[in-house]
């Protein structure tokens, strides 16, 4: 089987430009994925920022009840719900 000639990956001036490029181009034209290796980044942490938010006590209690039903911390449940809402 003959090897496919790979195209050179262009230089990008920003992450946004690179994102737009990969939305419309097939990476297999630029990379030989058969040579890819799995890697792990065990110490990689997402950037987060703490915030304060005032909630009515009754709302917070309802959130805690829902979190308890799902066996997750209530702060994690709030993050999941916010992320789902923002995606819609």
What is the residue extent of each domain of the chain?
A: 1-36, 50-88
Kindly list the distances between the CA atom of residue 82 and the CA atoms of 11, 47, 49, 79, in Å, as whole numbers in the listed order. Answer: 35, 16, 15, 5
Q: Is 37 within 8 Å of 12 (Cβ atoms)? A: no
Q: What is the pTM of this model?
A: 0.49
SS3 46: coil
C-alpha–C-alpha distance, residues 72 and 79, integer Å:
11
Q: What is the pLDDT of residue 4?
A: 78
Kindly list the distances between the CA atom of residue 79 and the CA atoms of 4, 51, 60, 72, in Å, as whole numbers in the listed order. Answer: 44, 12, 14, 11
List, for residues 26-62, the tens digit of each pLDDT value: 999 999 999 999 998 888 888 888 999 999 999 999 9
């Amino acid at each position: 089987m003959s090897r496919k000639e790979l195209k050179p990956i262009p230089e990008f001036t920003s992450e946004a430009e690179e994102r737009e490029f990969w939305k419309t181009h097939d990476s297999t034209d630029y990379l030989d994925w058969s040579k890819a290796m799995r890697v792990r980044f065990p110490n990689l942490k997402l950037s987060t920022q703490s915030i304060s938010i005032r909630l009515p006590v009754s709302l917070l209690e309802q959130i805690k009840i829902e979190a308890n039903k799902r066996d997750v911390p209530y702060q994690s449940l709030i993050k999941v719900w916010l992320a789902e809402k923002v995606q819609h």
